[in-house]
Amino acid sequence: METQVKQIIARVLNVSLDVITDDLSAGDIPEWDSVGNLAIISTIEQELDVEFPLEDLFDLTSVKTIVDEVNQLKNV
C-alpha cells in the first residue's frame, strides 16, 4: 500500500518517485502546496477506494501520515 500511495503522490505532483520519502511534507517542495495536497487526497480516495474522515483532512500533510491513514482505512 505504501508504494501505491507514494506512486500516486509522485504522479499527482509530477515529480520523480525518488523525491517522495516518508518524511516529505506539504511545503517541502514547490509542487506540494495546498492545491497539490487536495489533488493528492482526492486522487488517493478515488484510486484506492478510501474515504478520509473530514476531521483528519488537515492532518494529512505528509507522506507518512497519508500512508498511515490509508493503511488504517484499509485495515492493513
The region of weakest confidence among 15-19, 23-27, 55-59 is 55-59
Please tell me the CATH code under which domain 2-73 is placed: 1.10.1200.10
pLDDT at 76: 64
Q: Read off the pLDDT band of 75 (50, 70, 90).
A: confident
Please state, for a pLDDT cut of 70, what percent of the chain lies above it: 99
Model pLDDT for residues 28-60, shown as the tens digit of each residue:
999 999 999 999 999 999 999 999 999 999 999
Nearest Cα residue to 18 out of 63, 60, 71, 66: 63
